[in-house]
Amino acid sequence: MEQPTTTGIDLAKTVFQVHGVNQTGEAILKRKLRRNQVLDFFARLEPCLVGMEACAGAHFWARELQALGHDVRIMPPSYVKPYVKRGKTDAADAEAICEAVTRPTMRFVPVKSAERQVALLNHKTRDFLVRQRTQLVNTIRAHLSEFGIVVAKGIHNVDRLLEASSELPDAARPAIDMLADQLRETQEKIDDLTARIEAAQKTDPLARRLATIPGLSAITASAIAATTPEVGNFRTARDYAAWLGLTPQPHSSGGKERLGRISKAGNRYLRRLLYLGAMAQISARRAGRPGDDWLWRMLKKKPVKVVAVALANRMARVVWALIRSGESYRATAA
């Protein structure tokens, strides 16, 4: 059998579709594979360029195929979609992936190591539990309001909320107690994961250096260190901020420059952490004395949330600079 030089694989849970072409671009391979056949099939092929979309399991399969000697490249699905010629089939998707991976302007997703995926798993689990905690608090608050019990908003008022539940009728207490017990268990799990992430952050040299940036907590520094690919993929600090979705989205045509809201591209989790860190800095700055620094001047003429996004953008640029230089943060002299 003629060996393909470029191969596109459409990943799935059970059935995988493979499309391969030779040096002239002629299709010489179209085949469906079961999950247990994938590694045996690629082990018989000579090393070639393999493209796949970024999806569940993509990094695992990329590591496995790289171990077999193949050059594996992962692409965002939105960048592959324009190459789907017609209809939606596994064969059409595999063909589009095979074509897209050869484009000189294509952008690729770096393959994550198993260690980075483990670190991100802790972050994703903690984020999931935080959302569950919010749902539980809102549920308890809504049920108590039905009985005329209202407490100020905020996670810091949860204890007051649970104390106020003592005013409920006896028949309503068991249900609220069940929700309160689940809330306490969820909080304990969040605390355990937070301690685990902070302990791992202290042993990671990159995460320790990033934590020196004002506004970056141990959680944020650990998440950035585990998520950010090689900074060599970004020409400038602005490219990195744009990768996080913290730059204005352009709507320009006919020579007229129009910049809208932030694009919100990239990783929403990192963008949210940077935004929260920026809001913490703004709160501390507004509580201090007036000054003439950049942040104070922005707060005088712009809405707080707009300033928070701008500050998050600056923080992202500092992150890029520290990763690239290998140094720690040094505050600018007044």
Domain boundary assignment for the chain: 6-100, 114-203, 209-325
Rounded CA gap, 134 and 132, in Å?
Answer: 5
Largest CA distance in the chain: 79
pLDDT the model gives residue 262 = 86
**241: Cα within 13 Å, side-chain hemisphere:** 20
pLDDT the model gives residue 65 = 96
Q: Cα-flanking dihedrals φ and ψ of residue 31, to 5°?
A: -155, 145
pLDDT the model gives residue 56 = 87
Rounded CA gap, 277 and 279, in Å?
Answer: 5
Query: What homologous superfamily does CATH list for 6-100?
Result: ATPase, nucleotide binding domain (3.30.420.40)
Q: Are 302 and 282 in contact (CB under 8 A)?
A: no
pLDDT the model gives residue 332 = 66
pLDDT the model gives residue 333 = 55
Task: Indicate the pTM of the whole model.
Answer: 0.84
Beta partners for residue 18, in sequence order: 9, 31
Residues in the chain where the model's pLDDT stays below 70: 1, 229, 332-334
pLDDT the model gives residue 266 = 82
